[in-house]
Amino acid sequence: MQTQDYQMLDRQHHLHPFTDFKSLSEEGTRIITHADGVYIHDSQGNRILDGMAGLWCVNLGYGRQELIDAATAQMQELPYYNNFFKTTHPPAVKLAAKLSELAPEHINHVFFTGSGSEANDTVLRMVRRYWAIKGKPDKQWIISRENGYHGSTVAGMSLGGMTPMHDQGGPCVPGITHISQPYWFGEGRDISQEAFGKQCAQALEEQILALGEDKVAAFIAEPVQGAGGAIIPPDSYWPAVKDVLAKYDILLIADEVICGFGRLGEWFGSNHYGLKPDLMPIAKGLSSGYLPIGAVLVGDRVADTLIEDGGEFFHGFTYSGHPVCAAVALKNLELLENERVVENVRDELGPYLAKRWQELAEHPLVGEARSLGLIGALELVANKATGERFDKSLAAGNVCRDLCFDNGLVMRSVGDTMVISPPLIITRNEIDELISKARLALDKTAEKLAITHPM
């Protein structure tokens, strides 16, 4: 089939995720046919540097034969069996044990799911169940953050703080409330980073007091917000949040779906910030995206209660701990470990990206460049001196994203924030290529916007 054939069939039959169906159908899609290392290839022969590692997930890069072999071998041995009704299988057992070894000390149990959203559905049910067993069924409220992302199932989107998602599809799951996010460039520039981080942590305490400590079950947050725009909190934020949580009897859920498995240069984002979460939803980098798998890493406090006093937990999925997905995840973890990928992000690639990424802060279109490990963002501004944003109708971020794509780089736009999250096996040369392509796209964006919005 040719590109046009795929595009026609796609238009006729395929409803894409997070997509305006009508406008996509008018514009047509790009057909990605194969990939290797950090590059994807489309049906028209373009080779594109994948600055997003798929959807923040292809941590080991594309085309790893070891992962393909692990899937093949497991397919042949046992393509499917479940973990319900007192059965299990070697890949699920080994993966649970390995994750317990990699996770912080106090985490020794794993509940498998098929995705990050399912992991967050699980978390919601687990924390409420935990407090019910503890004889505190009124501890129901979960405090989350505006513009956080926790998935697209009903519970996932309710936990998340994306209002356009809340506005579609009827009422959210009750008992979830959202406080301000530690997004200094977007919402806090009138005060120092330090003061703003503390102010956001204070919002948590105020919300706990407003709801009543005995009504609050948990606080959920991504260590670094991903889908919200690679929002790296001010240094003062997490220590202050930790202080608040220590004061009240409230569980911490660190959503590690993006931050986990090396993105911030540690196995988990929680390690980077010294957090001790009770629950950690994970997915994406767990299998480097080669097969769908997620999980909740469950700390001893919750696990022991569920095990000792809980009775049956009426929850689980057909594909919880799917043997082929688990076998691939296990091999993925082995490769990340043996090749010291995580340490390399922390010691080499992260600092190198930070240095090169900061060079883009000089660009007239860029109000802020920030990065941590291998996640980064650029804030596009209409006026560099004042930090004034572009008029929303110009969709500057989307303009830049499209120019990136045309120019051989995948960079994502979240409003006017440009985001990168490349595979963790990217080389220094490939980082150089990413930077020069990003710079070119910024130049072209400036040129294009200058016509409608002279700077």
User: Which residues make up the interface to ligand PMP (CB under 6 A)?
Assistant: 55, 115-117, 120, 149-151, 222, 226-227, 255, 257-258, 283, 294
Contact 372, 232 (CB under 8 A): yes
Q: CA-to-CA distance for 362 and 368, rounded, in angstroms?
A: 9
Nearest approach in angstroms of CB 387 to ligand PMP is 27
Nearest approach in angstroms of CB 160 to ligand PMP is 8
Neighbours of 411 (CB within 10 A): 28
Tokens of 371: 């990065």
Closer Cβ to ligand PMP, 328 or 449, answer by number: 328
Closer Cβ to ligand PMP, 227 or 449, answer by number: 227
Type of residue at 269: G
Q: CA-to-CA distance for 296 and 116, rounded, in angstroms?
A: 9
Nearest approach in angstroms of CB 29 to ligand PMP is 20
Nearest approach in angstroms of CB 264 to ligand PMP is 13
Tokens of 230: 């690679």
Closer Cβ to ligand PMP, 257 or 324, answer by number: 257
> Measured at CB, which residue is nearest to ligand PMP?
116
Q: CA-to-CA distance for 267 and 373, rounded, in angstroms?
A: 11
Nearest approach in angstroms of CB 31 to ligand PMP is 22
Closer Cβ to ligand PMP, 35 or 283, answer by number: 283
Three-point CA angle 7, 11, 14, nearest 5°: 105
Tokens of 368: 């802020």
Nearest approach in angstroms of CB 321 to ligand PMP is 16
Nearest approach in angstroms of CB 113 to ligand PMP is 9
β-sheet bridge partners, residue 39: 36, 49
Tokens of 122: 């699980």
Nearest approach in angstroms of CB 263 to ligand PMP is 10
Closer Cβ to ligand PMP, 257 or 399, answer by number: 257
Q: What beta strand segments (E) does 82-153 contain?
A: 107-113, 141-145
- Spell out the SS3 assignment of 248-317: CCCEEEECCCCCCCCCCCCCCHHHHHCCCCCEEEECHHHCCCCCCCEEEEEEHHHHHHHHHHCCCCCCCC
Contact 107, 253 (CB under 8 A): no
Closer Cβ to ligand PMP, 14 or 247, answer by number: 14
Closer Cβ to ligand PMP, 228 or 367, answer by number: 228
Q: How far is CA 209 from CA 53, 139, 146, 204, in A?
A: 40, 13, 18, 9
Closer Cβ to ligand PMP, 151 or 367, answer by number: 151
Q: CA-to-CA distance for 247 and 208, rounded, in angstroms?
A: 11
Closer Cβ to ligand PMP, 332 or 445, answer by number: 332
Closer Cβ to ligand PMP, 64 or 150, answer by number: 150
Tokens of 450: 């200058």
- Nearest Cα to Cα of residue 89 among 106, 105, 112: 112
Nearest approach in angstroms of CB 118 to ligand PMP is 7
Nearest approach in angstroms of CB 222 to ligand PMP is 5
Q: Please name the residue that has the structure tokens 């990168």.
A: 420
Q: CA-to-CA distance for 162 and 229, rounded, in angstroms?
A: 12
